[in-house]
Homo-oligomer: A and B are copies of this chain.
Amino acid sequence: MSDLLQRLRGRGWRLTAQRRVVAEVLDGDHVHLTADEVHARAAARLPEISRATVYNTLGELVSIGEVIEVSTDGRAKRYDPNAHRPHQHLVCSRCGTIRDVHPSGDPLAHLPSSERFGFTVSEVEVTYRGLCPNCATA
């Protein structure tokens, strides 16, 4: 994630302890944390970090395209550092586990122009739901 910190410095961001910690918390694969989960993990390293700063930093990371916002459950949004490789999500309906899955072709192509009603379609979001191996056996 230190390459992320480099990119942020390149954009003129001040590298504060708070931003560093948020970036560290978001490091890894299949990371889809809510803002409050990010705050809890960040606060474990930097106890005085505020919720507002976590929300601000996440919002900034989203607006520059370093992090993606995912709404899989209509409750809290989740923040996904896997922003540089297009992907979709596979969600367990029972335990909420989220896995990244990678499309074979371009899912946008699956909408024929006869079904576009004059819209200029530029994005598509796909969420698959089912039971994960753990929840299926239980």
Q: What separation, in Å, do the CA atoms of A118 and B128 have in the docked complex?
A: 13
* A108–B93 alpha-carbon span in the complex (Å): 16
Instruction: Give Cα A71 to B78, complex, Å.
Output: 14
The proximity string for A residues 37-73 relative to B, scoring 1 for CB distances below 8 Å and 0 otherwise, is 0000000000000000000000000000000010101
A119 pairs with B123, CB closer than 8 A: no
Nearest-neighbor residue (CB-CB) of A101 within chain B? B115
- Enumerate chain B residues within 8 angstroms of A126, measured Cβ to Cβ: 107, 124-126
A117–B99 CA distance with the chains assembled, in angstroms: 9
Cβ-defined contact, A129 with B133, below 8 A: no
Q: Which residues of B contact A99 (CB under 8 A)?
A: 117, 119
The proximity string for A residues 110-138 relative to B, scoring 1 for CB distances below 8 Å and 0 otherwise, is 11100111111111111111111100100
Q: For A69, what are the chain B residues with a Cβ–Cβ distance below 8 Å?
A: 74
Do residues B136 and A130 form an inter-chain contact, with CB atoms below 8 A? no
The answer to the question of A96 belonging to the interface, with a C-beta cut-off of 8 Å to chain B, is no
Q: Give chain B residues whose Cβ lies under 8 Å from the Cβ of A131.
A: 119-120, 122
Q: Are A128 and B120 touching (Cβ within 8 A)?
A: no
Interchain CA distance A30-B130 in the complex, whole Å: 27
B residues less than 8 Å from A104 (CB atoms): 110, 112, 115
Shortest 7 CB-CB contacts between residues of A and residues of B: A121-B130, A118-B133, A71-B74, A123-B129, A101-B115, A125-B127, A119-B130
